[in-house]
Structure 1
Amino acid sequence: MNAHGKLDKLKQNIKNMGSLAVSFSGGVDSTFLLKVASDVLGDKALAITAKSSTYPEREYREAEAFAKTLGVKHITIISEELEIEGFSENPVNRCYFCKHELFEKVREIAKQNGIMYVADGSNVDDTGDYRPGLQAVKELQVVSPLRAVDMTKDDIRLLSKEMGLPTWNKQAFACLASRFPYGQKITKEKLDMVDRAEQFLLDLGFREVRVRHHGDLARIEVGTNERSRFFDEEFMEKVYNKLKEIGFTYVSLDMKGYRTGSMNETILKDK
């Protein structure tokens, strides 16, 4: 089935639900899902966004602006993952704790607003990586409308572009906690270091950016076609000085470049 056939099926499925609360991060997938839900359900569609220290302010501002433009009801909740027991120790199933807490809160907000279903924005490409958060989605009976119709990231970007959504070519985003090797303690100060470092690189014009936090070392991942910018010595010095100012002692460039889930490579290798 092509992307447009999947879209027709998605619309029908959402219509059958009658009402839907979307866990809305402002990323490519949840923005697309919210747009379709709003088109199909009108005021029976609800956007719920969680603010926390793992969620950059720039992402929240974009989510808030889009929901306002769309005219959909948008509720913001506080979900501070660092307060969840075990989360800051960064176990391999860290994402499970986070998603379980998040969707419990989202379900309660949905219930208070008379909304029958709660949805996440995961697509079929998300099943190929190690994603313990999907277990929480299953346990709490959160629906995944995009996965249900076999939507891929490419499908979503194509349809988003046709709909004129500003996120159609937005870089992929994952919560800042994903920048730490499993077992390394996560703190608000470390999250702030990563956020500031990534914002600096984004301001320099990089589109795909991750700054992985390895204690004193920052490992920079940028898009494969963007790595050559670091061939300039003056530019390298500028980046090094800024990240040192932020708090890193050593700064390195990952030779392979940006890829999703690079922190999972060690655990996937062991399986």
Structure 2
Amino acid sequence: MEVNFVQPLNSSAAEEKLAALRGLLSNLGRVIIAYSGGVDSAFLLKVAREEIGDRAVAIIGISPSLMPEELSEARQLAAQMEIPLREVDTHEMEDPNYIANPNNRCYFCKSELFNVLTKIAETEGFDAVCDGTNLDDMQEWRPGAQAGAERAILSPLREVGLAKAEIRQLSKQFHLPTWDKPAMPCLSSRIPYGTPVTAEALRMIGRAEAWLRAQGLRQVRVRHYVEEDRPTARIEVDPTEIAHLFELREAATAELRAVGYTKILLDLEGYRRGKLNDSIGQKSAPQPITLHLN
């Protein structure tokens, strides 16, 4: 089922921001683009390569929190754009601060990634490291932004005022397949704050989500809870796709049990971006309405 990702926007304003982006990039010298294969970093990489050619280098960080399917798609897109892609290992899973999963977990993840990229920049003579942060990101809980600020990471999309809808629209004009790609944060974002991040939990989440997407569900989150040492999956899909998930109830239950979940729930509210951030600044988080699938 198709989800409409493009909202009406002022195309002339978007074009003006694109021109400003080109001007900004043209003055940067040699740059590293922190690439993930998502909407924002793919668009930034595309424009950077058009503007400054091989002075822009794409680097992607590899860790257990990156879905294998996402890595594969990122590689395919870079190859499609005929852009060499460098891959580096990141080791946030060795950081006890990250594993503890506080509400600023992303700070420790981004710190690790940006430490790796800035070290490459220093040793290989790059002038800057750029990420794909956009204007809308600044309205959300983004502790990773602090890690970028501390390391002088540039955010060209944000600097020229490009919002997500504009980036999607311009990506569509550029024929980038990511123009309507659903948001795909790291797998650790499926684990409630305070529940430790483990390699096994990430494996289970990744397998469960990959299976659900293979059944045609586009916007999927498998929230990973642990109740009395028993893993529970709470599935969120786009509200327009809930009926389809009901059709898959028996198969989904069997698959997620095989993955390792002992209880499988469906969130009847459906997917909503940043839902696990609801508890930040609140004494108690809103309780989702759920239905047992098994």
TM score, norm. by length of structure 1: 0.96
- Matches of 2:120 and 2:29 in 1, distance apart? 17
Structure 2: how far apart are the matches of 1:92 and 1:189? 20
Per the TM alignment, residue 70 of structure 1 is displaced from its structure 2 partner at its CA by 2.2
Of 211, 214, 225 in structure 2, the residue corresponding to residue 203 of structure 1 is 214
1:157 aligns with 2:172: no
Offset from partner CA, 1:22-76 (integer Å, 9 cap, x none)? 1000001000000000000101000010100000111111112222232333211
Partner of 2:144: 133
Shift of 1:113: 3.1
Question: Which residue does the alignment assign to 1:258?
Answer: 271
Which residue matches 1:221?
A: 236
Q: 1:186 matched to which residue of 2?
A: 197
Q: Give the secondary structure class of the aligned counterpart of 2:58.
A: strand
Query: What is the 5 A alignment of 1:35-114?
Result: 35-114=46-125
Q: 1:158 to 1:270 in 2, by over 3 A?
A: farther
Query: Using a 3 Å threshold, how does the CA distance of structure 1 residues 44 and 190 change in structure 2: closer, same or farther?
Result: same
Q: Contact 1:43 / 1:73 at 8 angstroms: preserved in 2? A: no
**SS of equivalent residue, structure 2 residue 277:** helix
Report the Cα distance in structure 1 between the residues aligned to 2:283 and 2:18, rounded to whole angstroms: 38
Query: CA deviation digits over 1:121-140, x for unaligned, max 9?
Result: 01111112211000001110
SS at match of 1:226: helix
Q: 1:212 is matched with which residue?
A: 223
Q: What displacement does 1:191 show? A: 0.4
Asked whether the equivalents of residues 91 and 112 of structure 2 are also in contact (C-alpha less than 8 Å), the reply is no
Q: Which SS does the other structure have where 2:261 is aligned?
A: coil
- 1:117 corresponds in structure 2 to 128
1:245 to 258, 262, 282: 258
SS in 2 for 1:17: coil
Q: Is the contact made by 1:45 and 1:72 (CA closer than 8 Å) also made in structure 2? A: no
Q: Give the partner amino acid of 1:227.
A: I
Determine if the alignment matches structure 1 residue 7 to structure 2 residue 18.
yes
Equivalenced residues, count: 269
CA distance in 2 between partners of 1:152 and 1:246 (Å): 37
Question: 1:168 maps to which residue?
Answer: 179
Superposed CA offset, 1:110-169 (max 9, x none): 233322010110111111221100000111000000000111111011000000111111
**CA distance, structure 1, for counterparts of residue 122 and residue 84 of structure 2:** 15
Partner of 1:23: 34
Q: Which amino acid aligns with 1:18?
A: G
SS of residue in 2 equivalent to 1:25: coil
Higher mean C-alpha deviation, range 83-92 or range 136-145: 83-92
Unaligned runs of 5+ in 2: 1-11, 285-294
Identity over the aligned pairs, expressed in percent? 43
Partner of 2:288: none
Moved over 6 A (4+): none
TM-score (norm 2): 0.88
Tell me the CA shift for residue 171 of structure 1: 1.1
CA RMSD of aligned residues (A): 1.4
Q: 1:163-183 CA deviation, whole Å, 9 max, x = no partner? A: 011111111110001001111
Question: Contact between 2:208 and 2:222, CA under 8 Å: does it hold in 1?
Answer: yes
Structure 2 counterpart of 1:254, which letter?
Answer: D
